[in-house]
């Protein structure tokens, strides 16, 4: 559970620093719709995927790029955790 909390924190910080610079941390909730609310552009999404793949040594498939699995901090935590568990 501690790892999951740390992961959530890392991902939140990355998104805030990269895509919402200068914004207060509380403006981004764990369930904020990153794609649906226009927070991430399509290019931002690609940068995020590259970051996740490089940082967590996972591979993200094409069908996971758009929509649900990447649409919130919490969903990203789920995706990364599940992929790491599968090795």
Q: Is residue 68 at the binding interface for other proteins, with CB under 8 A as the rule?
A: no
Residue 1 vs 59, nearer CB to other proteins: 59
**Rounded Cα distance, 80 and 59, in Å:** 9
Out of 1, 63, 85, 87, the only residue in the binding site for other proteins (CB under 8 A) is 63
**Rounded Cα distance, 8 and 35, in Å:** 18
Say if CB 77 and CB 4 are below 8 A apart: yes
21-50 residues near other proteins, rule: CB under 8 A: 23-24, 27-28, 32-33, 36-39, 41-43, 45-46, 50
In angstroms, give the least distance from the CB of 15 to other proteins: 10
Residue 3 vs 62, nearer CB to other proteins: 62
Q: 45: which 2 tokens? A: 């999404």
E-strand stretches of the chain:
none
């Amino acid at each position: 559970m501690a790892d999951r909390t740390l992961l959530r924190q890392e991902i939140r910080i990355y998104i805030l620093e990269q895509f919402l610079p200068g914004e207060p941390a509380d403006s981004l909730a764990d369930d904020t719709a990153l794609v649906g609310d226009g927070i991430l552009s399509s290019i931002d999404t690609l940068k995020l995927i590259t970051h996740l793949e490089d940082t967590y040594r996972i591979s993200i498939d094409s069908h996971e790029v758009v929509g649900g699995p990447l649409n919130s901090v919490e969903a990203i935590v789920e995706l990364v955790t599940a992929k790491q568990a599968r090795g």
